[in-house]
Each structure stands twice: as structure tokens, then as C-alpha cells.
A and B are shown apart, each in its own frame.
Chain A
Amino acid sequence: MVDMPAQNPQRIVLPPHRERARRPRIVRLREWARRNLFNSRAGTFLTIITAAILALIIYGVVYFVFVDANWRVITENRWLLFAGGYPMDQEWRLWFSVMFVFLLIGLTYGTWASLGRRDHLFIVLASGFAILLLAHGGAAIWSTIWYLIAVGLLYAGYAITIRMPREAGPGRTLQQRSVAGLLIAALPIVLIVLLAFGGARPRELEGFVLNLVLAPVGIVGGLIIAIPLALGRASRMRAISWTCTTYIEVVRGAPLLGWLFVALFILDDVIGGELIVRAMVVLAVFTAAYMAEYIRGALQALPHGQSEAAHAVGLNQFQSMQLIVMPQALRISIPPMVGQAISIWKDTTLVTVILPLRELKGNADSAIAQFEFTPDRIEAYVFVAVVFWVVAFIMSRISQRVEGSLGIGER
């Protein structure tokens, strides 16, 4: 054993790497535990307390999952939970979409990344969980088989693409372009399979399937709107930049639920159409405002020299944006974008919240029709919206002041 200079944590002297690696695993483990868990009296105390609390939680969870809980609620209402009102005889459309998406995941990983041990473990665990859910009731065998085929497609797509050469060349370019093309086309394809040619009507999208459709529509639609929006806000032409700024500030001024109410009540009177479709538009429009701000931040973080160098080699404004500035800005804004995507994924539940109000609204409309304030209905919504917006706008202004005084956002 090396003796640990534990009393003086500033000067932990590690033996050379080789030497450490050669010692048996158990010794290394013990050393690690000493260093990280029991490095001082307070540390040891905290470790023991944490371990005790963890043990209690794990015991509670395990007991609940395997003893206390009655999972038949889930297994027997599988279809209701997952697909809601989706027509059962169109089940193949759901499975087709799942298989297509799984295949795409495999192709994407095979082309740009690789599956490590952890990824395989995750797939196996997730599949175990999925099969546990699927393997009940009448169509259990078939559901399980469809699911296994989907996983098989994931690995097939992966196996094919991972074998292709990664070195730059015409073959590689073709491969990247094809997979990227499929990724771009994926959402429209899935929507068509689910909804078009005798598929479900939008209002029949329910349950988990609804969230799975809404979130990508919001994210992809949002991104598509966000890019021109960010460029517009950064534009030197006042009319354009003010228009985009207004869009962003107004949308960010109210909570998503507020905008969904707008979709439910106000847009219904104005443009009509199915509520779900209107909700999709709202999600995209809402997400775009946030994403545009992340992209704008990234545009400001990018050194000015990049677009200057692009112009110096002769690229025009559009090419400089498309080939030099945007690829880098999008890369910088990936972390906050992922955060936004996750939050939109969770917020799609809000759509489920307003769905029942469809019927309510129908009743309310006729009920309100008898009251004297009917014509002022919109005014009430507008008033609430304005109050919300003002508060949010103040917050946004304050954040801009803080940004300004920190020197962010200036070149």
C-alpha cells in the first residue's frame, strides 16, 4: 500500500500511471474508496449517512416495484396509455414508425458514432422494460415480435454502416448525405404514415403517441423557424430586426399554456382546423423564439474574423452564413438547444391538459352565448395575456441589462 497523504489534501501525490495500473483491481478499488469516500473524518461521516439514505430509498423502490404495486393497471391499459384513441386496426402504422425510427438510429450511430458497451447495455435494459410491458394480454406475442424486429433493424442498420470506410471520399460523402437526408425526411415520413392514406385523424392521436409526435414537430419546426429568426434579429436592417425582436419577445412573454389557450380559443375562431394541428403550430412557434435566442447568442460568440475570412476568400454573404457561420453557431448552441428540446418534450403534456377543454369550450361557447358579456370574451383573454406579457417582458429587459453590464452581446 502506498500511504495516503490524506491529512493534506492539497498535495495528493499519485504514483506514476503505469505502476497504478499494474496493481490488482481490489487494491485500486480500496485506494479509490479511501481517496473519494473516506478521505477525512467528515467525509467518512457523510459517506455513511449518504449510504444509509440510499439504502432506504432503494429498499422502498424495490419493495414498491416488486411487492406493493399492481402493474396490471399499466399492462391491461397498454393501448389506452400508449395510443389512446388511435384506431386499433391501424396498429401496423405505429409499428412501422417505430421500426423506421429504430433503423434510422442504427444508421446514424453507424455513420457518425459507434455503440459502446454502455449503449448496448442501455438497449438491452430498455428492451427488457419494453418487452415486460408488451408481453401481456392477447396480442402480446405479436407486439413482442414487432418490437424485436425493430431492435433487429437498429442493429442491422448499425452493422451495415459501421463497416463502411470513414475516410473522406466520394463514398463517405454519399453515405453521409443519404443518412442526413433520411434524418431530415424522417418526421414528414412518420407523420404521413401515421395520418395520411386512411391513417388516424389528428384528433385520434392520443396518449404517448401524441407526445411522441408533438415533441419532434415542435423541435424540428422550431429549429426551422429559429434560424431565419435569429439572423433577422441580428440583421442591420431595422425593420427586419424589430419584427424578429417583437416576435421573440412577445412569444417569450407568455407561458406555453397561455399560447395553447390561444390556440384553443382564439385561433379556433380565426383559422379553425383541428386543435392538435393548431397545437403543433403553437409548439413550433413557441420553441422557435427560444431557439432563436440561443442561436443569436452563438452568433455573437463567434469571432468576427470567421465571416471576414469567408469574405476574403470570395464567399458572398449567403455562402458565408451557410458554410462558415451557421455550422459553427449551431454547434455552439447545441447544449442549450438540447435543454430546450427536453423541456418541450415534457411540455407536450400541457397539450394533453388542454385537449379535454375542446368539448368544454363547445359547451362554454353556447353557455356564454346567453350572458351579456359574450362579446367581451376575447377582451378578457387579451387582458390576462397582456398582464402576463408585461411581467415577462420586464424580466427579459432586466436580463438584457445584466448581459449589457457584463459585456456579453457586444463585440
Chain B
Amino acid sequence: MTTETEATPTRDLESMEDIIIAENVDKWFGDFQALDNISMRIKEHEIVVVLGPSGSGKSTFIRCLNRLEEHDAGRIVIDGIEMNDDVRNLNAIRSEVGMVFQQFNLFPHLSVMNNITLGPRKVRRMPKLDADALAMQLLERVGIPEQAEKYPAQLSGGQQQRVAIARALAMQPKIMLFDEPTSALDPEMIKEVLDVMQELARSGMTMIVVTHEMGFAREVADRLIFFDEGSLVEEGTPQHFFENPQEDRTKLFLSQIL
């Protein structure tokens, strides 16, 4: 599906700083425990793919990383900033962490251009001309500069998701979270979005991607993480996962999905 990259061995992540630290994170919805004692460290520039069956807590976990969900116990530190009730910390974290949703969640009442420039202008107080130039640059990068003046409803699903990626990038984040970015797309549009994500990975972005696209996981990920019933069951390189998984639950899941 994708091109040459043999990312894993050629990159030296060992010397990098931990940019995401999660320690013993719990999350409850009422008396249902969605996350159970999750700990992990993610290095700068690392590409992590999160796998797991439906309802296993993948979305809940990555949503905790920009506080769309509040974790109930444990610690989360993003680029040295503690995630807590301090609003200044939250704002700092949110402008370092971009997010792409399964349902795109573009703002339907704003043009593509305004979707992208809204964050930079309102949060970073960037002058309009600069923001517009930045937006055009990002639209070139995701391959749809000609759609700038359209509205989201006038675009195909793949184009909408690429606008959503551009919108997240416009805040110049250090980390990008993707929650099943291709699950709502028709098959023929999946590739155009994956290509953009792959280019982003090559450019050095730190990425956490929840996806069922095994081709992407195999070729782009530095590390795979497997969730089940709110727990982190197994983690390792793609090679480890696809050739030599240890846990029974992992094997079962992979046998179903591959």
C-alpha cells in the first residue's frame, strides 16, 4: 500500500526525550472503568499505533492526552507540562497537541480557509494575512490548495479529513493524535489520507494513531500498543507484533483482523 520506508531500524529514538509520560492512569465512566492503570512513555518523533478491539479504551486514552476526557487517577505529562486543573497548563498542552477525529468534525459554517485559520488567529493571535498564508501552505502540503474557498460539505470525505489534518497542523503542534482517521472513509479515499499521514511521520512529527490499517501500522509505526478492556496488554515493534506476539488476547485480535 505505501512506499519504501523502513522506518524502524534507521531511526535513533533512544537519544530522544520523552514527550508524553503517562503513569498509572485510570479513567472511570460512572462505575465502569474505561482505563485501568495505563503507563507509557513516548519519545519525541516516535510514531505509535494503538490497536485493540472496540470498546477497549483506545479513544478514551488518546482523548485523555489533550483532556477531552479528564483522567481520574495517575499522572499525564506532555512535553514537561503537567496535565491538571490549571487552565494555563491546559491551554499550553492543547496548543501543542493536534487532534484528528474519525468524523472529521470540521466546522460546517466556516470555509476551508477559515476552518484552518481559526485556531492560529484566535488562540495564537496571528495576523490574518499570515494565517491565510500558513493555511495555503498547509493545503498545498495535504494536496488540496484549490479547495480553500469551499465549505466542508462541498468536499469528499478524504478531502475533509485532509482539511482536518491541515487544521490541526495550523496550530504548529509537536504531537498529533489520530483517532481512527480513515474509518469513516470509502476505501478509495483511505490512501490519500494515509499518504498525508505518512509524509507527516517522515517529517518528524510525534504521532499517536488509533487505526485498523495494518499496512500503515507495519510500515510507519515505531511501536504498536495493544489495548483490551481498558488495560495495556502488550507493546512492541511491528516486527514483534506481526511475527511473534506473546499474549493470547493479542494473538486472537490479530488473527481476527489480519
Contact = CB atoms under 8 A, between A and B. Distances in A.
Contacts of B122: 314-315, 319, 323
A331 interface: yes
B84 interface: no
A328 interface: yes
A313 interface: yes
Contacts of A310: 107
B118 A323 contact: yes
B107 A324 contact: yes
Interface string B122-158: 1110000000000000000000000001000000000
A298 B5 CA distance: 48
B43 interface: no
Contact of B109 (A303, A308, A327): A327
Contacts of A168: 111, 113, 149
A14 interface: no
B167 A313 contact: yes
Given A168-B111, A315-B123, A306 B105 contact: yes
B109 A312 contact: no
Q: Is the interface of A mostly helix, strand, loop or mixed?
A: helix
Nearest to B95: A314
A308 B101 contact: yes
B91 interface: yes
B123 A309 contact: no
Interface string B106-117: 111101010000
A306 B68 CA distance: 12
Contacts of B97: 312
A201 interface: no
A305 B111 CA distance: 18
Contacts of B119: 313-315
A316 interface: yes
A30 interface: no
B42 interface: no
Contacts of B95: 314
B103 A303 contact: yes
B66 A312 contact: yes
Interface centre among A168, A305, A309 (most CB of B within 10 A): A309
A319 B107 CA distance: 13
A313 B118 contact: yes
A356 B119 CA distance: 57
B221 interface: no
Interface centre among B66, B109, B113 (most CB of A within 10 A): B109
Interface string B203-225: 00000000000000000000000
B98 A305 contact: no
Interface in A305-354: 305-306, 308-316, 319, 323-324, 327-328, 331
B171 A314 contact: yes
Contacts of A305: 101, 103, 105
A306 B167 CA distance: 13
A16 B113 CA distance: 39
B51 interface: no
Interface in B21-61: none
A313 B164 CA distance: 10
Contacts of A315: 118-119, 122-123
Nearest to B68: A308
A312 B168 contact: yes
A313 B66 CA distance: 10
A309 B107 contact: yes
B91 A316 contact: yes
A328 B97 CA distance: 26
Given A305-B101, A323-B118, A323-B122, A311 B107 contact: no
A245 B103 CA distance: 33
Given A305-B105, A308-B101, 5 more contacts: A303-B103, A313-B167, A315-B123, A319-B122, A323-B122
Interface of B: 66, 68, 87, 91, 94-95, 97-99, 101, 103, 105-109, 111, 113, 118-119, 122-124, 149, 164, 167-168, 170-171
23 contacts: A303-B105, A305-B105, A306-B105, A306-B107, A308-B68, A308-B105, A309-B107, A311-B94, A312-B94, A312-B97, A312-B98, A312-B168, A313-B94, A313-B118, A313-B167, A314-B91, A314-B119, A314-B124, A315-B118, A319-B122, A328-B108, A328-B109, A331-B109
